[in-house]
Amino acid sequence: MNSGNRRLRRTAILVALLTGVPMAVVHAGPTARALNVTKQNVTSGTYELTAVATSSSPDTHASYTLIVASNAIGYYAIRNFGTLSVNSFSLIGSTSTAMRYCMNQAFQSGSQTRCADGSYSPRITIGAYPTQTTMATALAPGGYLTLSETSTSSVNDVITIAVSRAQIVTNGTRNS
Amino acid sequence: MKFVKSSKEELKGATKFLKFFAMTMAIIGGISMVSSAVFAGVSARAFNTTAQSFTSGTLSLTETNQATTGTTNGFSSSFAVTNVAPGDVVNRYFTLTNGGNLAAASMTAQIADTGTISNTVTAASATGGTVTYTYTPVDSSDYLKVGEIVTITGLSTAAFNLAAVAVASATSTQFTVTNAATGTAVTGATGTATVQDRLISDATNGLQFTLSNCSVEWSNTGTCPTATVTAASGTGSVVTYTAANTYVAGDQVSVTGLSGAVTITAISGSGTVVTYSTTNTTGLSAGQSITISGATTAGYNGAKTILAVNAGVSFTVTNATTGATSTATGTYTSGFNLSNLTVATASSTQFTVNNTTVDRAVSVASGTSTPVINGVTIMASVAGPTLQSTAQTLTAASLNLIPGGVNHIKVNMTLPAGSEVVTNGVWPTGTVQGQTALLTLSFIEQLRTNTTTNS
């Protein structure tokens, strides 16, 4: 039995050698690839308008509550903390209030109607929630408005700012 | 005796093996070989004395940043694109060359983004097959999203360091993943939850890509440029076109709209033939259309078909008109209107092609040189949410490249105007989706078998 197996093995080897049984080789699918190895860095911008106590206040990432005593003047600022410019934005107050504002500057000391450079401060009326009052005022990154609010009675006015994507100034097409 | 008997047995065994081997060989012979019979030494053979040559082909695709026209062509680490806003467009330019001898067909392109966002994980705990992580997102207004693939590292309980798991739920302070991991709850940690950058991860909101090709280099205004040809002339095997252009050698263009002008010095009609005298008949041939203008006899003017050309003397047309002789001008379609030309040399004011066309020089022309492939869109992002994909594969409609072919590719990256901006409705802030994308571009051609060649 063993010698028979040996013979069979020998025969099998001989058969394999003589007939040249091909090896089953699996090939990977060849691929031609052209690759640009230099990576392109693309970073999105941010827009972030926040109401803060003064133009130099840090970003609170929150709405701002302006507390005004009766017949007093309250001041606050809206600053663009983002990296993108906006061409307008909307203000929402918890109460309807008349305000004045100065662009990128403070009010003249002791005056609500004059800005620091002597120009008159425009007057606007902010509607109460849910009314959104659109401010057609472009704000570049770092830009701000200083606002004043006079109330005939003590009030806590919660000021919220809304910006839609359509109000962002795009960079247009960049070819280089 | 015993030894002899044994030898006989061995001999018998060997004989059996030889028989078996012979039988096996006969079977093999029957299967794969001709008969093992011995033939006489005469054989007849017919063979083809001309050898057939077989050569394998090569496919060599090379992608380079477009060389000359733009200022920051291709992807460049030196020119990062920052502050991309919804609605912004960024174009980059590449040159794709097939340096092999096989045609590349139906290529795909792949845009890969290796940018990541790393959020700080401060705590983790597990219960009931859910692992809950407390984290501080990079941007609290743009925190993790359900379905994002996140990898958590750096936690002291190793079981909570999970790789490539999907976010099951998320707020700006916590996220969960569905996982059977258990272990000691972690607090006060400084682990990291890393997700793939989102700038190209969401096909609805992220960067969208459109690839277009052009047979000449793209201009730095993003157009596949044409040129106005004001003159053309041929010398030997070179045709020179005068045109303000931005071409480079290897660009492929076609030229149209050029007219040759023939100065006619006299005209005479006789019977049904009108003869137009001219000392220069270069470019004219029988059967060619020519438009005559300026003759005092109206019938000599208009569109004519040349009957015959008397070299250096005149050409005739079939026309029964007779009248006074006069000068005139003939115009015909110049032979320098050529298609599928490869630019041999180029400067800002002219370009040449290797072509043996013989025709008279064209001047005061208003021809147009246009790219053979003129800004055709070949690939574009496919819509559909693919949150956190690491690469977008774009399939070409028909980006084929013949051996030696050069394609100029414009990669148009657009952040759609409606791209997601996160607002939480309480405080007035928004962030354009995503952070930073680190993009690579590759073109891929899967080598294919050629069709059967019968001739």
Q: What is the pLDDT of residue B290?
A: 97
Q: Is the pLDDT of residue A140 over 50?
A: yes
Instruction: Say if residues A102 and A142 touch (Cβ distance below 8 Å).
Output: no
Extract the tokens encoding A80.
């663009």
- CB of A161 within 8 A of CB of A117? no
A93 close to A65: Cβ distance less than 8 angstroms: no
Contact status, residue A83 vs residue A141, Cβ threshold 8 Å: yes
| A148 Cβ neighbours under 8 A, 6+ residues apart | A73, A74, A75, A99, A100, A101, A107, A112, A121
What backbone torsions phi and psi does residue B341 show, to the nearest 5 degrees? -85, 145
Q: Which amino acid belongs to residue B253?
A: V
Contact assignment for A15 to B24 by CB distance below 8 Å: yes
Question: Which pLDDT belongs to residue A19?
Answer: 35
Which amino acid would we find at residue A63? S
Residue A147 near residue A75, CB atoms below 8 Å? yes
Alpha-carbon distance values, B263 to A22, A46, B283 (Å): 77, 68, 13
- The rounded percent of chain A whose pLDDT value lies above 70 is 83
Residue A1 has pLDDT above 50, yes or no: no
pLDDT at res. B433? 55
If residue A35 lies in a helix (H) or strand (E), which one and from where to where?
strand A31-44
Return the pLDDT at A167: 87
A52 near B CB under 8 A? no
Rounded Cα distance, A137 and A160, in Å: 16
**C-beta atoms of B427 and A50 within 8 A:** yes
* Beta pairing, strands A173-174 & B89-98: parallel
pLDDT recorded at residue B28:
46
* pLDDT one-digit tens code per residue, B93-106: 999 988 888 888 88
User: Chain A, 91-150: which have a CB under 8 Å from a chain B CB?
Assistant: none
Query: Rounded to two decimals, what is the model's pTM?
Result: 0.74
Token pair listed for A125: 């009326």
pLDDT confidence tier of residue A11, bands split at 50, 70 and 90: very low
Number of H helices, E strands in chain A: 1, 11
Based on C-alpha coordinates, what's the Rg of chain A?
36
Instruction: Copy the structure tokens of residue A24.
Output: 């089953």
- Which tokens go with B409? 């590719």
Contact B319, B272 (CB under 8 A): yes
- Distance, CA of A99 to CA of A126 (rounded, Å): 7
The stretches of B99-232 forming alpha helices (DSSP H) are none
Residues 6+ apart with CB under 8 A from B39: none
Task: Give the Cβ contact number of residue B365 at 10 Å.
Answer: 23
**% of chain A at pLDDT higher than 90:** 31
Q: What is the pLDDT of residue B184?
A: 96
pLDDT at residue number A29: 52
Q: Look at residue A31 in the predicted model and tell me its pLDDT.
A: 75
- pLDDT value of position B41: 62
Q: What residues in chain B have per-residue pLDDT under 70?
A: 1-42, 69-72, 139-142, 198, 200-205, 382-390, 397, 418-435, 447-451, 453, 455
Rounded to whole angstroms, the Cα distance separating A76 from B79 reads 39
Distance CA B365, CA B442 (A): 42
Residues 1-40 of A with CB under 8 A from B: 3, 7, 10-11, 14-15, 18-19, 29-40
Regarding predicted confidence, which is higher, B148 or A88?
Answer: A88
Q: Residue B265 is encoded by which pair of tokens? A: 């010095």
* Interface residue of B77, B107, B429, B446 to substitute, partner A, most A CBs within 10 Å: B429
Residue given tokens 């008997």 in the structure block: B5
Q: What region, left, alpha or beta, does residue A94 occupy, with left being phi > 0 and alpha being psi -120 to 50 degrees?
A: alpha
Q: Which of A31, A33, A42 sits opposite B436 (nearest CB)?
A: A42
Task: Enumerate the residues of chain B whose CB falls inside 8 A of the CB of residue A41.
Answer: 77, 80-81, 436-439
Cross-chain CB nearest to B418 (options A7, A35, A165): A165
Q: A130 preceded by cis ω (within 30°)?
A: yes
CB contact under 8 A, B437 and A42: yes
pLDDT score recorded for residue B21: 55
- Maximum pairwise Cα distance, chain A: 119
Per-residue confidence (pLDDT) for residue B19, from 0 to 100: 59
- Annotate A75-86 with DSSP letters as a single string: EEEEEE-SSS-B
